[in-house]
Chains A and B, each alone.
Chain A
């Protein structure tokens, strides 16, 4: 199996809408994927991630730009002449063929001798844990098994790039977790280059070497799962990766990559997102994850508030604190005896090292931001 690199250079995809208007699905994206790495395109629906993947597979032609697989320019090569194989959200198994014929289809297209097809099919079914399933029709399999067949069918042709289009979203939660581990295991074992499209941040975090976050047809951040979660470079990425609490701050001074922010009467030293350059003319917002906030029964914390609701989750508790900046969620491990009852006056302290300064784009209302982020 020869893993290939994949590169996109200034790729655009513009569709014509129903009334003739232009819809820019992919807006000038470029990235480079190293051989053997697992890369996820992550973003909300309509962000252009699936369109990008389909252009790599050859199902769509880019309106502009260049796509390379390895050293070959494949921009206008039809799908059947590309060395990619795709695993689809709806599996795309051939309903009129049994499992063996499904998996062997790509080998038959490559004119592999029948006896070899047989051996390779049973070897790959072994790898995905379905040995002996050759003669079963796809319809007799469970969703998870069908997805394994789809995976086997893509793997068996030893493509230089393996493409996944939200392959787990039709499965239930338990199966999804199981298949996640399975896909990562097989990718590691085969050393294949994989590009995976999802809107599920947990999938992206657990599977990938690199996550590419997309929004409105553009790449908004690229990095390791750690980077993306801990050091988002925008309110969008921060919010997409999970619940965030936002506080408006005044920057009183810059210290290298850190800003000295003033919140009420307290001064906090907070580092700003890597990709953002300090600029006095910009407005900033301080953001941190709910687990980096702490509730105090006294006025020790920086931000005063009143407990609105406590939600018991089993392993943790979520408290919603009414503050000047809207209702802020705090996630803490459960200590029942120290739980602040609803209606009590409290204050919130913030872990400075777990907090980040993000540029506040114009026209964004902080109150609604704290309400909207989930």
Chain B
């Protein structure tokens, strides 16, 4: 049974081998290797995790599932995750629509600023917003305690989580919706006005109905992100229960790997439902042509009064966001937040002293994973788009799985699958690097596929017919042509790896530590000053990489497209 997954893959490879060997061996080997990678590092661990939930003392049993599905605590956590997801998705979609609509349909001032505000939080490191929420609104918060003098406030729990998640995730909704609204030709609105519809009528009978599919997919995307979120609830949930944190507690607190695995598999169900809904229902309802060019004109569909109101709302939200970030930076220089607001450099010295190994490890591991993940993603994109081979659908599905699977499940399945020979990887740097690669592969592959689909295949065929074999075509034609996708995939992998939490928290060891986990430890021990320093350091690294990317690629559009999908 153990070797089942491996045997299956080997069999598949053999079929491939026979079918294609004679004509293009390089391609065959590439396909084999990709299958081996996704088989061993995606299918196998997930299979192992699933198998573990079906065993009791080594024999088949549904006991784990019976226990999980009848335990009040876990059901409460499931409900907690769903409720949190629904609230966050709803508020985020509303704010996202506010920004997207105002920026695409009116001529308000400061568009660039607002659109930066509405995209920035997606790349903010984990814990940063949570941290500043605690600093501002916690029981010793600057606003709650110091300014308002409240002594009985508790930011921990559902309300705090909804606020933090919304601030972190409304950009996802914004990016989906601004894409959709841009693609809706304003000719429709002009036609409606021409037919004597009032502004409100135009909005309610044309603009809004046309963006309904976009609203639905934005909502679902935020919902799945909220449910899979681990970092925010880990610190901010308090007594409120969510599944991802419960799974973590079972594994690290009680050493119940099987229950942890089962809980994170339960977490997968709403995600898959949302994914299926998106794919088979919403995408068919869409009226918007993806290729539609924005018409370039802006029709004033709102009255000046409404415009001022929209502007004010965006300003308030942006102001709130800025104050959150500013708080973290301020936290670096404060002696003891909540008690002694005196200025100091001690935090910086101590945090960098204690964190330098973690920062070094994290940077090194991310730097190793980045080029591998980037190249692998582009190779997979090329063979998926351009080549025909048996099992292609399976390969694509396997590569995309880590995109839908919450990090908690990935992390748990890795420690289950790779804790004994021949694949004894737990505790090594390799397991962290592989985890980075596997988790960021889908986004790189997707952007590679999207870019490659826009490139005329006859360009590659021309190269082939002039004597270039598959590897040469990849090196001299494909890679240069999909350079923007390649570079953005590189920086995406690097940033995501540096800021990873949910899977990596299971995989770190005394030898290989991770900066985000250190931030978590500092906050758990109420050393908010130290946590602020490390969070700020991460923010600086992330921003530096993104600015560097802009310098390389020139445009941020393909990068934004990447982020959107996450």
B469→A92 contact, CB < 8 A: no
Cα distance, A57 to B462, chains bound together (Å): 10
Interface residues in B8-45 by Cβ distance below 8 A to A read 22-24
Instruction: Give the contacting residue for A84; candidates B463, B465, B468, B481; CB below 8 A.
Output: B465
> Which residues of A are found within 8 Å of B466, using beta-carbon distances?
80, 85, 105-106, 109, 153-154, 157
A89→B458 contact, CB < 8 A: yes
> Which residues of A are found within 8 Å of B481, using beta-carbon distances?
95-96
Kindly state whether residue A229 has any CB partner on chain B within 8 Å.
no
Kindly state whether residue A110 has any CB partner on chain B within 8 Å.
yes
Cα distance, A80 to B456, chains bound together (Å): 18
Cα distance, A105 to B467, chains bound together (Å): 9
Instruction: Give the contacting residue for A88; candidates B23, B24, B458; CB below 8 A.
Output: B458
B-facing mask of A226-252, CB < 8 A → 1, else 0?
Answer: 000000000000000000000000000
Min Cβ gap A87→B in Å is 9
Cα distance, A86 to B465, chains bound together (Å): 6
> Which residues of A are found within 8 Å of B467, using beta-carbon distances?
80-81, 106, 109-110, 157
A105→B463 contact, CB < 8 A: yes
Kindly state whether residue B283 has any CB partner on chain A within 8 Å.
no
Kindly state whether residue B76 has any CB partner on chain A within 8 Å.
no
A90→B458 contact, CB < 8 A: yes
Instruction: Give the contacting residue for B463; candidates A76, A82, A94; CB below 8 A.
Output: A94
Measured as residues with beta carbon below 8 angstroms from the partner, the interface class of chain B is: 20 to 34
> Which residues of B are found within 8 Å of A86, using beta-carbon distances?
461-462, 465
> Which residues of A are found within 8 Å of B456, using beta-carbon distances?
90, 92
Kindly state whether residue B364 has any CB partner on chain A within 8 Å.
no
> Which residues of B are found within 8 Å of A59, using beta-carbon distances?
461, 464-465
Min Cβ gap B433→A in Å is 31
B-facing mask of A49-91, CB < 8 A → 1, else 0?
Answer: 0000000011101000000000000001111111011101111
Interface residues in B408-447 by Cβ distance below 8 A to A read none
Cα distance, A90 to B458, chains bound together (Å): 7
Measured as residues with beta carbon below 8 angstroms from the partner, the interface class of chain A is: 20 to 34
B22→A92 contact, CB < 8 A: no
Instruction: Give the contacting residue for B22; candidates A76, A91, A157, A165; CB below 8 A.
Output: A76
Instruction: Give the contacting residue for A78; candidates B23, B459, B462; CB below 8 A.
Output: B23
Q: Of all chain A residues, which has the CB nearest B481? A: A96
Decide yes or no: A79 and B464 within 8 Å by CB, A90-B456, A92-B459, A93-B459 being known contacts. Answer: yes
Min Cβ gap B465→A in Å is 4
A88→B461 contact, CB < 8 A: yes
Cα distance, A91 to B465, chains bound together (Å): 13
> Which residues of B are found within 8 Å of A80, using beta-carbon distances?
464-469, 472
Min Cβ gap B510→A in Å is 48
Select the residue from B461, B468, B469, B480 with max chain A CB neighbours within 10 A.
Answer: B461
Kindly state whether residue B477 has any CB partner on chain A within 8 Å.
yes
> Which residues of B are found within 8 Å of A58, using beta-carbon distances?
464-465
Min Cβ gap A213→B in Å is 25
Instruction: Give the contacting residue for B461; candidates A79, A82, A153, A157; CB below 8 A.
Output: A79
B23→A61 contact, CB < 8 A: yes
Q: Of all chain B residues, which has the CB nearest A109? A: B467
Q: Of all chain A residues, which has the CB nearest B469? A: A80
> Which residues of A are found within 8 Å of B472, using beta-carbon distances?
80, 109
> Which residues of B are found within 8 Å of A150, using beta-carbon distances?
462
> Which residues of A are found within 8 Å of B469, using beta-carbon distances?
78, 80
Q: Of all chain B residues, which has the CB nearest A89? A: B458
B465→A79 contact, CB < 8 A: yes
A: residues with CB less than 8 A from B are 57-59, 61, 76-82, 84-86, 88-96, 105-106, 109-110, 150, 153-154, 157, 163, 165
User: Can you list 7 A-B pairs, Cβ within 8 angstroms, ordered by A?
Assistant: A57-B465, A58-B465, A91-B458, A92-B461, A105-B468, A109-B467, A154-B466
The 4 tightest CB contacts between A and B, nearest first, are A106-B466, A109-B467, A92-B458, A92-B462
